[in-house]
A and B are shown apart, each in its own frame.
Chain A
Amino acid sequence: MFRQFKMLAALAAVSALTACGGGNGNAAKPAGPAPDAKKVDAATAANVSGKVVLEGTPPAPVSIKMASDPTCMDANKGDLKSETFVVDGGGLENVFVYIKDGLGNKYLFDSPTEPVKLDQKGCHYVPHVVGLRTTQPLEIVNSDNTMHNVHGMPQANREFNFGQPVPGLKSNVTFTAPEVLIPFKCDVHSWMNAYIGVVDHPYFAVTANGGKFELRTIPPGTYTIEAVHEKLGRQTQQVTLGEKDSKEITFTFKAPA
């Protein structure tokens, strides 16, 4: 009983330390909105949609060896595949697409408070890539009946590492500085990794359903849109949007040799 109390106390201390987030006093704080900043007018806003394509033969999915933890073996019946290259109909999934430049500080955006969930389920992260806003909580959950540690390795925000030894345990993390992408890993299960995109506006997406993405309700203007893949790196495109425009763009990454 006493031991369990000590363990929970330690976990609470760790959670308290980490819950206040990856905020780093040294991190570049995003500039706040200008005094004359305004809300985006939905009536004149534009949309950008498109696809991320993988050119060439994608690497074959690699089966993950989980012999070091029988619980993970049981959860997956030994057939969990690497999620680095998920390709469907030539479209590359798990790519983070967002407006990198062009918004400036001319617009006011709401600050969502509902958490974005990152689950540890079957000894892998679900989803593999996820986006959220600065100061928006990232709720990290352990749905496995085994030990996990959550190790976030940001550059602009503060690094953290805490344990989630109990199934059902939840911890909230926030990030104060925009950063794309932040690698997450579990050092207990070396194959477990996830990538988090943190931005200070609502224009981001993660490619799914054959590499497709959509950024909606963008104010007219000229923007740099960036697509970031965990292994293949970054690509940018410039897009000029008029009122009520709907543009399609395609990013093409080359498959590794």
Chain B
Amino acid sequence: MAACTVLLIAAGASVTSTDSGLSVPDWPTTYGWNMFTFPVSKMVGGIRFEHTHRLIASSVGFLTIVLAVWTWRVESRRWVRWLGVACLGAVVLQGVLGGVTVLLFLPPAVSIGHAGLAQIFFCLTLTLALVTSPGWREAVPAVDDATLRRIATATTALIYAQILIGATMRHNAAGLAIPDFPWAFGHAIPPVWNARIAMNFAHRIGALVVTIAILATSAHVLYHDRGRRELVRPAMLLLAFVAVQITLGALVIWSGKDPVINSVHVVNGAAVLGTSLVLTLRSWKRDAEGTELVGVRVPNPRVQPPLRAEARP
């Protein structure tokens, strides 16, 4: 489900990157057709991107219904059941936002909301996947690292904020407002300002802040928690993803906003967010009341009373 959501984010990013958002002017129909019966032969130009996005979104919506119902029926943990419901609510709202933004000619506020909710939905599905995975159910000792919890949580929040700034920039056509990189009009600080330049520069500053936060989080894990594979792996992955993301960001500008590079930049941004979320959730995972968190009745070895092997009188 989370993987399908990544595919959906890629499809959505390609719609924006190719400026195809209004190539299908009606919604929920497609040029009057029911979207599932729209002929493939008519998927030309921008319609290919927009209609494909709608089809993938509908499939993800259907899968989310199955997921929510299934989770509700088989999951013992109440909060996980409600997480499934939250996924369903998010995907419904996301679909409506997608339709509204088309019918209102892509107002930036709605389109940014659509982009922001896409990442929230991705985070919800990823969380659901994580907490229902066998790894989460293992009764491993809790991560006793309050500092890691704080910086990992802050890093995830910063990444999400940076994604929102990026979405604001994209949906206000400000991606090339500063045409050079790493400089800004040949200077460290832009010598001229307007709203679009400010958005663009804010995204660059955001990239710097997020990179520092990720370096700090990963360094903390590698220094203090190097024995915990479930933390080290996402920390290493996070470093790789952020390096790729900065490279892609630079390439977006140097290529004059090549649609493919632009779309991959958005998808990799989701990967950065998702990886940081996994690290954060693992840092918060408790084992003391593991029965509540992992959904199976596994006694915690650290709080279990010692076994007594006393001979009966």
Contact = CB atoms under 8 A, between A and B. Distances in A.
Interface of A: 3, 6-11, 14, 68-71, 146-147, 149, 151, 153, 159, 161-163, 165, 186-190
B45 A151 contact: no
B22 A161 contact: yes
Interface of B: 18-26, 29, 31-34, 37, 42, 44-48, 105
Contacts of B21: 187
B26 A14 contact: yes
B32 A71 contact: no
Contacts of A186: 45
A245 to B, nearest CB: 43
Nearest to A149: B25
A7 B38 CA distance: 11
Contacts of A3: 33-34, 37
A8 B42 CA distance: 16
A235 to B, nearest CB: 23
Nearest to B47: A188
B32 A147 contact: no
B16 to A, nearest CB: 12
A contacts with B: majority SS: mixed
Given A163-B25, A190-B19, 9 more contacts: A68-B46, A147-B31, A151-B105, A161-B22, A161-B105, A162-B25, A188-B44, A189-B45, A190-B20
A112 B42 CA distance: 37
Given A3-B37, A7-B31, A163-B31, A190 B25 contact: no
A68 B42 CA distance: 11
Max chain B CB contacts within 10 Å: which of A10, A159, A188?
A188
A149 B33 contact: no
A14 B31 CA distance: 10
Contacts of B46: 68, 187-190
Contacts of B22: 149, 151, 161, 187
A159 B105 CA distance: 8
Nearest to A150: B25
Contacts of A187: 19-23, 46
Contact of B29 (A10, A69, A161): A10
Given A187-B20, A188-B23, A9 B47 contact: no
Contacts of B33: 3, 6-7
10 contacts: A7-B32, A10-B29, A68-B46, A69-B44, A71-B44, A147-B31, A147-B47, A151-B22, A187-B23, A188-B45
Contact of B25 (A6, A68, A161): A161
A65 B114 CA distance: 31
B2 to A, nearest CB: 31
Contacts of A190: 18-20, 45-46
Nearest to B103: A161
B32 A10 contact: yes
B98 to A, nearest CB: 15
B251 to A, nearest CB: 21
Max chain A CB contacts within 10 Å: which of B18, B32, B46, B48?
B32
Q: Closest 3 interchain pairs by CB?
A: A7-B32, A10-B32, A187-B23
Contacts of B31: 7, 10-11, 147, 163, 165
B42 A147 contact: yes
A151 B48 CA distance: 18
A14 B44 CA distance: 21
B179 to A, nearest CB: 14
A186 B24 CA distance: 10
Contacts of A163: 24-26, 31-32
A74 to B, nearest CB: 12
Nearest to A160: B105
